[in-house]
Structure 1
């Protein structure tokens, strides 16, 4: 049994990633009493948990950092794309600089949050203990878009006798895979990174793949002292620039259409973007690449040409870089790689391409495919992803007016206002979740934009003695229509993707992210404020 009694605060925040830490800092600056509750033992959110081999961010620094000079003036990056350990150290630095540690409870999981209609307060339960509660006026879950892991219901998985690890729950400490026969299921961003590392040490690697990954070169490089000094000189202007671009980078889509240019010029641009590394080939190109079939196909064929140079095995080349695209290029989350294709081309690596050889079942020694072949291995790595975007909210027993749960509310589709509030759940503000830019913007840019809006809103409610604020049903309907309208633009809707919830059986297919870009999103949020919080009911 937990401690008997209730702990009262103005606000309770769930999650110590970019969003949670920023919101804690800003609410404290505004004079509110706040407690942040984190299930892990340290800060970083998903980066605290991402311990799988090769875990690394795919947004380059210093773009992947807060804008507050206090957080970067004494910080020195080591790599263009930091690995998990460097990122965790960065978050620990931020906690120290902002003096957040006294206001965070570690190793504590929020399991329920219930709205008390008579008192206009939230009651927060932790660790499943009904006697261990927090009371707050404002409830702010910052659980992120990858908080609930997903394992497909593979037949016979429980019969496998070897070790099983999900990438989202990797054990603390070293997992020795040297000399082992390892299977990795999944070739998304996590799978790409894990495969690169495991392929170095495993005696044999089996990769189970449904869709080839159109990964592009990361081109990671060390960052020395002079480079860090240059960052500090440029950061004030870079951070201003990030606040104006589509995805929160220092670069943006180029004006015009690439197909209006001569073929030689297009080729020159493809080479420049591809060789720059990072996400430039995806998000630093022209808009028509993600909207026009001809432009998209040409970009894909350039990518394919580069990849085929790196794969010697003709059968693997056929699978990994097919002549005909499966999904339009760039409409699924682009991954960054360092030696992914060379690893898959190794003689001790086999690929189970499930579009041609579906999994029949697991057996005690491995996987049996539909053709009767048994692929044996000692260790299974599940890089099978998450219940993206909504899972972080629906896995908590959040109950609003009339005892309705968020899980039930979202069962037939997501309804929010501005991707931060939900009708029927007063005084609840979530960040980096459904119907916001989320997976279409860098984490810190999203955190700072949404965090500022929420702090300003809470301040407005408090100063004007309102008891609660609640999104209206009409506003939710309008926002959902606006979000889905943005998703209809371009080629994204043609892909089988977690952007639309396609990776979770039974999940409604819909736009889970705001795809119209960060500038328009911020404009819409500000318009609601300028109109006196239009779309919300404020109760005295």
Structure 2
């Protein structure tokens, strides 16, 4: 735990989290002259990348785009080694950023914020940590991440297993050697799909227990040579401009025609280009792909054709091809040789749909049909309590002592994803109610932090003590987010966007699906209007 004896007990801003959003928030606000304290439960910077060290962990946004744009010298000096960076390289980059701008000096690491309580007379926040520290802050900024609260399934006997167990979201920093072991991986979301090929290379026997198949596309990864890096750096300004106008925070625009306005030859060529680009952007090949089921079916058919060609056993392919949701309504995974892994003799796929896990015992996993899968290690690739889980584990009390978890009991209630009525001077960045997980999160972080910085400057220049979203604006924004989602196919999938992976969680589509560029224009207009939808409170 960091030494806190030299830190002030009263500051302008508390920032919770040291991922990509928190780091930039501390740097930006400190540069404006605010006193800032940051807290991070991990032992260093990195956020989701600090914890997710599983084999094959890789970003699904191109490295050149998954980087900060706020400092051109930083853009020009950093060299990415490959098209899609792995977790170790992303961590090296974030360490470089933290070192270059001396951000760590305002953070206390290995420390969790346990509560934040509003003083209604002063409109300041009292923040408490698990290290016993208590401090006062004018503004409380949560940058806790959307995918930072791991989820374990409710399975009988889960604690009885005598072998080693791991969760992909809390992977040992020293790594794991599976050589010669019988390994079971539960889950085929992003972390399962990325880790399975590498675990299969080590394990004597790998059993993949699949609850539901997912769409995944090869990364098409490749090393970047000096010439490629020079071209990227020379084109940064235009690349960033296009990214800020786009739906997902990257410079790749959808085809100018709708699916059925293009000829079959045009469609196949467009799909092929996106397939070669690799990863999640396939879902944005045509502009109507996630709003028109027939258009989605064409994209899905091309994907299935490609994937079945990679799998030798048609019966295995039948299990790996999703039939329960349109393509792109769950996040498309970016993989390296995932489907080919099932051609290996030491890999077995078990579908849990018809044969679910009955219990776990000391020797392995017992299936409903009575089969006992004996294992030496179990990997839970079972994901996160996404979007709200990390917020929910902190006791946040606003006006009248009301808990934020109570205010959000039917789903997250925000205005623009930034503020909540009853919680003045409290901001949640790059989370629910904003594009967040549907876009390039680093540009989302910059978008939110820059808006926040301008907001705080406006308050001070006009003599305001606090800012608070109105109840009406929150209700209107929640309804707008719902309308946007219902106008797409996104509601048809049991995705973590909807909280469908967490038993009892309200089924609410949590991110804003209207696009990164469109959202940026909305929050700009709110700021330009003098912060309509917010109440500004004079000192």
TM over 0.5: yes
Q: Once structures 1 and 2 are overlaid, which stretch shifts more, 470-479 or 305-314?
A: 305-314
Deviation at 1:6, TM superposition (A): 6.3
User: Equivalent residue of 2:92, what SS?
Assistant: helix
Listed one character per residue, the Cα deviations across residues 395-423 of structure 1 (whole Å, up to 9, x for unaligned) are 11111111111111111222111101111
Listed one character per residue, the Cα deviations across residues 41-70 of structure 1 (whole Å, up to 9, x for unaligned) are 221111111111111111112110011213
- C-alpha distance in structure 2 between counterparts of 1:327 and 1:354, whole Å: 17
Deviation at 1:454, TM superposition (A): 0.6
Q: Match for residue 73 of structure 2? A: 70
Q: Match for residue 358 of structure 2? A: 360
Q: Spell out the pairing of 1:173-252 with structure 2 (5 A cutoff).
A: 173-252=174-253
- C-alpha distance in structure 1 between counterparts of 2:276 and 2:440, whole Å: 22
Contact in 2 for aligned 1:112/1:128 (Cα 8 Å): no
- C-alpha distance in structure 1 between counterparts of 2:73 and 2:23, whole Å: 14
User: Equivalent residue of 2:208, what SS?
Assistant: strand
For the pair 1:109 / 2:107, whether they are aligned, the reply is: no
Say how many residue pairs are matched: 535
Measured on the aligned residues, the alpha-carbon RMSD in Å equals 1.6
Listed one character per residue, the Cα deviations across residues 218-254 of structure 1 (whole Å, up to 9, x for unaligned) are 0111112222222211112211211111110011222
Deviation at 1:465, TM superposition (A): 2.3
From 408, 411, 414, the equivalent of 1:410 is 408
Q: Match for residue 387 of structure 1? A: 385
Q: Spell out the pairing of 1:29-178 with structure 2 (5 A cutoff).
A: 29-67=31-69, 68-127=71-130, 129=132, 132-178=133-179
- C-alpha distance in structure 2 between counterparts of 1:423 and 1:197, whole Å: 47
Q: Match for residue 486 of structure 1? A: 484
Contact in 2 for aligned 1:111/1:128 (Cα 8 Å): no
- C-alpha distance in structure 2 between counterparts of 1:169 and 1:317, whole Å: 30
- C-alpha distance in structure 2 between counterparts of 1:417 and 1:276, whole Å: 35
Listed one character per residue, the Cα deviations across residues 98-151 of structure 1 (whole Å, up to 9, x for unaligned) are 22122222222111111111222111111162xx11211000010010121111
- C-alpha distance in structure 2 between counterparts of 1:276 and 1:147, whole Å: 28
From 396, 399, 423, the equivalent of 1:425 is 423
- C-alpha distance in structure 1 between counterparts of 2:481 and 2:90, whole Å: 32
Q: Match for residue 299 of structure 2? A: 299
Q: Match for residue 288 of structure 1? A: 288
Give TM-score, length-normalised by structure 2. 0.96
Contact in 1 for aligned 2:15/2:38 (Cα 8 Å): yes
Structure 1 gap segments, 5+ residues each: none
Deviation at 1:502, TM superposition (A): 0.6
Q: Match for residue 26 of structure 2? A: 24
Structure 2 gap segments, 5+ residues each: none
Contact in 2 for aligned 1:6/1:133 (Cα 8 Å): no
Contact in 1 for aligned 2:422/2:468 (Cα 8 Å): yes
Contact in 2 for aligned 1:71/1:93 (Cα 8 Å): no
Q: Match for residue 16 of structure 2? A: 14
- C-alpha distance in structure 2 between counterparts of 1:412 and 1:213, whole Å: 28
Q: Match for residue 269 of structure 1? A: 270
Listed one character per residue, the Cα deviations across residues 307-344 of structure 1 (whole Å, up to 9, x for unaligned) are 1111112321121126xx21111110100111101112
Contact in 2 for aligned 1:57/1:83 (Cα 8 Å): yes
- C-alpha distance in structure 2 between counterparts of 1:149 and 1:71, whole Å: 32
Q: Once structures 1 and 2 are overlaid, which stretch shifts more, 261-270 or 33-42?
A: 261-270
User: Equivalent residue of 1:474, what SS?
Assistant: helix
Deviation at 1:3, TM superposition (A): 7.0
Listed one character per residue, the Cα deviations across residues 226-284 of structure 1 (whole Å, up to 9, x for unaligned) are 2222221111221121111111001122222111222222222222221232333222x
From 329, 334, 346, the equivalent of 2:332 is 334
For the pair 1:343 / 2:345, whether they are aligned, the reply is: no
Contact in 2 for aligned 1:60/1:278 (Cα 8 Å): no
Q: Spell out the pairing of 1:304-315 with structure 2 (5 A cutoff).
A: 304-315=304-315
- C-alpha distance in structure 1 between counterparts of 2:175 and 2:311, whole Å: 31
From 500, 503, 514, the equivalent of 2:501 is 503
Contact in 1 for aligned 2:125/2:138 (Cα 8 Å): yes
Listed one character per residue, the Cα deviations across residues 136-191 of structure 1 (whole Å, up to 9, x for unaligned) are 10000100101211111111111111111111111121312111111111101111
User: Equivalent residue of 1:467, what SS?
Assistant: strand
- C-alpha distance in structure 2 between counterparts of 1:518 and 1:142, whole Å: 18
User: Equivalent residue of 2:10, what SS?
Assistant: strand
